[in-house]
């Protein structure tokens, strides 16, 4: 029975729990056993929390017995280790926070805890979410369940590998430049980046505050919709949290996309796409067209400037945000007699190479004489990128409804390549940064985007992303779920249990 429980959807698990065919304790034990069975190979967790999970499961069963179950009561969830938790360390994948125990939960965590969710652990991340492969974690490198010699993507590689490997039903990650969608694509699951302000950032350890967003990673689009519905909404504790209504995302999944205009940006297919990736995405677009949507070729030329723009803005904000780790208030401290020497020794010992690189890049961009030349110019380009998306969606000033060229959603590849080998790009920061070239524009524009599996290339998952106007998560999830219904890519499982990969891949349609 345990083996049948690890790949349940939220709806399937909820049904079994509510009909008392399985208890939350049994469901949790199945996932804890899975963690024990595969974790030495996948290495998805920094801190597994079996005792807290068992206690949470016991309380969930009491709640179910009392007839007070919510959607996530008794559901095993893993959290990226940049989300504060009051009952488990929050390290951000860094030695500088190795033993940090927050006094509070992040708002997204608190909202799931209020529903009775069961947290099975804190999952691995590139240090302070700075990376595209989870190789920058100061603890260990997480491995892709589809090929243990390859990266899971990053920086949310830990929770996403855990969900793909059956170690949790849902994972919560964070996005700054593609850190949920890119690893979701590499690991063959669904990953959602929400509109900036849709989910509270309170309790999310900051990397770049104008870009960071929490996002769910799940095996189905419906599970993404459930999770978003549970954690979205205004939060007075976060001044950037938007006071806008939260629709019923699950109810929006009607399967009907007839008449929708789907933009296909030509620039996104001219970014070094591997042939197998392009073929899978093009086939996905044909499926979308077969469902009654109209494909419209569009141009987003300023998006090509997204990568350099991001790598000025994000490091600049990181330089300011990470100044708080000084060895005085919390986290690692390396005393050296005087205050300045303590600062220097603490940061030298506590931060890894990539974090130091980005702090230096950001400090340089903000320095006197370079602020206008780099940071201000990057912010202007960011405005142009956002305006370009607004025009495509008919949201700019003067746009008149469904004018010529205006589209409802935009579909593009999630990443130019499939998952690369561990160590392959470690000595080439530019090649590493290029892994996010197709996801970064949506972050800069603050719009929502969901990555959904669309096939395989050389036995490895390929993903397409559906982007939409601000706060149109219901629309992009509807498109993604309609596509998902017409294929079976999200039903595929990695070959961790001995099944040959070629038997798992199949045709998909």
Beta-bridge mates of residue 429: none
β-pair partners for 411 = 466
Using the CB atoms, write b or e for 129-162: b if 16+ within 10 Å. Answer: bbbbbbbbbbbebbbbbbbbebbbbbbbbbbbbb
Beta strands in 194-293 (DSSP E): 213-218, 261-265
How many Cα atoms are found within 13 Å in the side-chain-facing hemisphere of 421? 4
Both structure tokens of 347: 């940061």
462 beta partners: 455
Rounded Cα distance between 184 and 475, Å, is: 20
* Secondary element (H or E) of residue 123: strand 118-123
- Asked if 75 and 170 touch (Cβ cutoff 8 Å), the reply is yes
CA dist., res. 21 & res. 224, Å (int): 24
Q: Which residues does the annotation mark as catalytic?
A: 80, 155, 179
Burial of 271 (0-12, 13-18, 19+ CB in 10 A): middle
Q: Hey, which bits of 1-98 come out as E strands?
A: 45-48, 76-80
CA pair distance 337, 183, nearest whole angstrom = 43
CA 324 from centre of chain: 25
φ/ψ of 462, rounded to 5, equals: -125, 150
Render 308-331 in DSSP notation, one character per residue.
HHHHHHHHHHHHHHGGG-SSSSSS
| 262 strand-pairing partners | 295, 409
């Amino acid at each position: 029975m345990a083996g049948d429980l690890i790949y349940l959807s939220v709806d399937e698990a909820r049904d079994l729990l509510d009909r008392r065919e399985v208890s939350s304790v049994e469901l949790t034990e199945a996932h804890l056993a899975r963690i024990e069975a595969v974790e030495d190979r996948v290495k998805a967790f920094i801190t597994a929390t079996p005792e807290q999970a068992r206690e949470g499961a016991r309380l969930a069963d009491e709640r179910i017995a009392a007839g007070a179950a919510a959607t996530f009561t008794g559901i095993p969830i893993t959290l990226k280790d940049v989300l504060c938790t009051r009952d488990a360390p929050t390290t951000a994948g860094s030695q500088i926070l190795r033993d940090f125990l927050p006094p509070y939960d992040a708002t997204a965590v608190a909202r799931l805890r209020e529903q009775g969710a069961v947290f099975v652990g804190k999952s691995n991340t590139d240090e302070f979410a700075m990376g595209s492969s989870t190789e920058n974690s100061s603890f260990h490198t997480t491995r892709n369940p589809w090929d243990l010699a390859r990266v899971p993507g990053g920086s949310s590689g830990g929770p996403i590998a855990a969900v793909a490997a059956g170690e949790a039903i849902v994972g919560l990650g964070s996005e700054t430049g593609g850190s949920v969608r890119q690893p979701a694509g590499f690991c063959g699951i669904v990953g959602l980046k929400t509109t900036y302000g849709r989910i509270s950032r309170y309790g999310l350890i900051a990397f770049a505050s104008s870009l960071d967003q929490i996002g769910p990673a799940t095996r189905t689009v419906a599970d993404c919709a459930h999770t978003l519905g549970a954690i979205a909404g205004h939060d007075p504790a976060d001044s950037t949290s938007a006071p806008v209504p939260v629709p019923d995302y699950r109810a929006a999944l009607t399967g009907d996309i007839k008449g929708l205009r789907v933009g296909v940006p030509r620039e996104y297919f001219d970014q070094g796409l591997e042939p197998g990736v392009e073929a899978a995405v093009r086939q996905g677009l044909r499926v979308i067209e077969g469902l009654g949507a109209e494909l419209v070729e569009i141009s987003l030329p300023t998006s090509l400037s997204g990568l350099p723009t991001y790598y000025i803005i994000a490091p600049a904000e990181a330089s300011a945000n990470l100044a708080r780790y000084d060895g005085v208030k919390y986290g690692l401290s390396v005393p050296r007699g005087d205050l300045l020497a303590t600062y220097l020794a603490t940061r030298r010992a506590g931060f890894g190479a990539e974090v130091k690189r980005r702090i230096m890049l950001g400090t340089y961009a903000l320095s006197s004489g370079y602020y206008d030349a780099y940071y201000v110019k990057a912010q202007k380009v960011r405005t142009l990128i956002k305006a370009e998306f607004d025009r495509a969606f008919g949201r700019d000033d003067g746009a008149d409804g469904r004018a010529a060229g205006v589209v409802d959603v935009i579909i593009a590849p999630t990443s130019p390549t499939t998952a690369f080998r561990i160590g392959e790009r470690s000595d080439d920061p530019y090649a590493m940064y290029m892994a996010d070239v197709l996801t970064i524009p949506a972050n800069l524009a603050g719009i929502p985007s969901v990555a959904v599996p669309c096939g395989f290339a050389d036995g490895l998952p390929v993903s397409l992303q559906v982007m939409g106007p601000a706060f149109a998560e219901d629309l992009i999830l509807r498109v993604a779920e309609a596509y998902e219904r017409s294929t079976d890519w999200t039903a595929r499982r990695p070959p961790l249990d001995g099944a040959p990969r070629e038997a798992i891949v199949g045709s998909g349609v």
